[in-house]
DNA sequence: TAGATTGTTAATCGATTAACAATC
DNA sequence: TAGATTGTTAATCGATTAACAATC
């Protein structure tokens, strides 16, 4: 019995709801109506109610939503109550920056290892996680039950490395390499394409300068 | 005479077209039809033609598109032929990673300065750009004609710092802080919310595990 | 010229917004 | 109970896809 498919547009909004609800909790706000939340977030109240009702009725007529309850429920929908083992491939600047990224643990992602081709980096530790040589990768993945690989390597070998990782049992990627990985479609890939982001910024700037009104 | 507004969905696809055309150029491909490109990119040919025709007719009936010409034209649409001065605010791991990010120059963004509150970092240089104290910021922006600020600072002071920057003349932001900046609406903000990205990945993983088919 | 493929209009599909009955 | 606000259906809007005449 497959439930109705949730649209990608809805999924992409959930983390933002989650963030706002977290901020409300910090301010000790107990309840909020879709109308109040919509004003804060600059979306329509209708959209909030539609989005949430894809997953169930979390509110109460005449009252609104309990902030803490809704926060917890969205967390569950996003799978933030689960634990996953991750590795970082590529210990360059970005790889090291992400290794220091404490949000991983907050979201249930446990950093198990960091790998690089450069022998100079080997043995160095980031927040208690040692950098290892790529040669150890296959053995490490198999013995550490790795779910997710973060790819912070150059684009020229990213698809090849990703294909190897899939063969060794990794089934999800957080990909920072500026390319498509072309993996089987049962493999999950979340891309962070900084160069595409910077081009959108460039477009907006150009457009602003052209229409000075 | 205001031209018809281009939808955000179209803009977001342009950088990906640009990337694929770049790859085709590297392979010395001279021409490509919307059909061939659509197969490579896993979109419909119709969508490619519709998207491009928002900006003009870049193809030729019976022939397709000249790869190099289309690449150049999309580059112009994205404003990649322009030059903008940028600064990085926050010289932590991520700020330093971005300072080393060579795509900036490729896209016409010139790194003029890096700023941090931590005096320990002052004087240190990254790819020839010196790290400066936040106190110098106002003077620096005014005398260096800064267009864009990259924000890699903690969320608790990001909106305040951004508001100051706007007052001093910055009108565009590449924001890595996990918060909304709440700036006037003529200010351009391109957000990179890594924590939202990681939550989408978490959702996909959870969904995969629930439906093992 | 004939074949191919664009540019563009029309049809479809999906997502957002509006409205309101249900109900706390 | 009366007022408020949800959950949900219906209406609208916009984006994607299909189709085909124009034309290289």
Using C1' positions and the CA of A12, the closest nucleotide is C15
Chain B residues closer than 8 Å to A78 by CB: 199, 202-203, 206
Q: Answer positive or negative: Cα dihedral of A9, B10, B202, A29.
A: negative
Q: Which of A188, A195, A198 to mutate to test the interface with B (most CBs of B within 10 A)?
A: A198
Q: Which fold has domain A8-77?
A: Arc Repressor Mutant, subunit A (1.10.10)
| H-state helical runs in chain A | 8-26, 34-41, 45-53, 67-77, 93-99, 103-106, 137-144, 158-167, 194-210
How many Å is the Cα radius of gyration of chain B? Answer: 21
For B119, what's the count of Cα atoms within 13 Å in the CB-facing half-sphere?
A: 1
Q: How many C-beta atoms surround the C-beta of residue A159 within 10 A? A: 17
Burial class (CB in 10 A: 0-12, 13-18, 19+), B78: buried
**Above 90 in pLDDT, residue A5?**
no
For chain A, give every domain's residue range. 8-77, 84-196
**Above 90 in pLDDT, residue A104?**
no
Residues B182-194, mean pLDDT to the nearest whole number = 96
* Predicted confidence (pLDDT) per residue in A122-174, tens digit: 999 999 999 999 999 999 999 999 999 999 999 999 999 999 999 999 999 99
Right CATH number for B84-196 from 3.40.1640.10, 1.25.40.10, 3.20.20.140, 3.40.50.720? 3.40.50.720
The whole-number pLDDT of residue B130 equals: 95
Chain B residues closer than 8 Å to A107 by CB: 195, 198-199, 202
A and B: number of Cβ contacts within 8 A: 161
* CA gap A73, A86 in Å, rounded: 24
The whole-number pLDDT of residue A3 equals: 53
- Return mean pLDDT, chain A: 95
Rounded to whole angstroms, the distance from the CA of residue A201 to the C1' of nucleotide D11 is 35
Among A18-22, A47-51, A206-210, B47-51, whose mean pLDDT is lowest? A206-210
Q: Which residues pair with residue B150 across a beta bridge? A: B88, B174
Integer angstrom CA distances of residue A119 from A31, A112, A149: 54, 19, 20
Which bin fits B61, alpha (ψ -120 to 50), beta or left (φ > 0)? beta
Dihedrals phi, psi of A47, to nearest 5 degrees: -65, -45
* Predicted confidence (pLDDT) per residue in A30-79, tens digit: 999 999 999 999 999 999 999 999 999 999 999 999 999 999 999 999 99
Query: B63 to chain A nearest CA, in Å?
Result: 27
Q: What is the dihedral of CA A51, B187, A202, B159, to 10 degrees?
A: -70
Same fold, B8-77 and B84-196: no
């Amino acid at each position: 019995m497959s439930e109705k498919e949730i649209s990608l547009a809805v999924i992409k909004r959930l983390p933002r709801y989650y963030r706002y609800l977290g901020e409300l909790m910090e301010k000790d706000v107990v309840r909020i109506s879709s109308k109040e939340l919509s004003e804060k977030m600059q979306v329509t109240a209708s959209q909030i109610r539609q989005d949430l009702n894809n997953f169930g009725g979390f509110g109460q007529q005449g009252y609104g939503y309990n902030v803490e309850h809704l926060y917890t429920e969205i967390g569950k929908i996003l799978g933030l109550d689960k634990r996953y083992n991750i590795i970082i491939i590529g210990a360059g600047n970005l790889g090291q920056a992400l290794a220091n990224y404490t949000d991983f643990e907050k979201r249930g992602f446990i950093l198990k290892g960091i790998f690089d081709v450069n022998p100079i980096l080997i043995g160095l530790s980031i927040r208690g996680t040692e950098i290892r040589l790529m040669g150890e990768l296959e053995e490490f993945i198999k013995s550490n039950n790795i779910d997710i690989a973060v790819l912070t390597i150059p684009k020229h070998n990213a698809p090849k490395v990703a294909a190897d990782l899939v063969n060794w049992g990794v089934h999800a990627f957080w990909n920072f390499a500026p390319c498509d990985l072309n993996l089987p479609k049962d493999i999950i890939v979340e891309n962070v394409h900084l160069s595409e982001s910077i081009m959108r910024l460039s477009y907006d700037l150009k457009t602003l300068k052209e229409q000075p009104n």
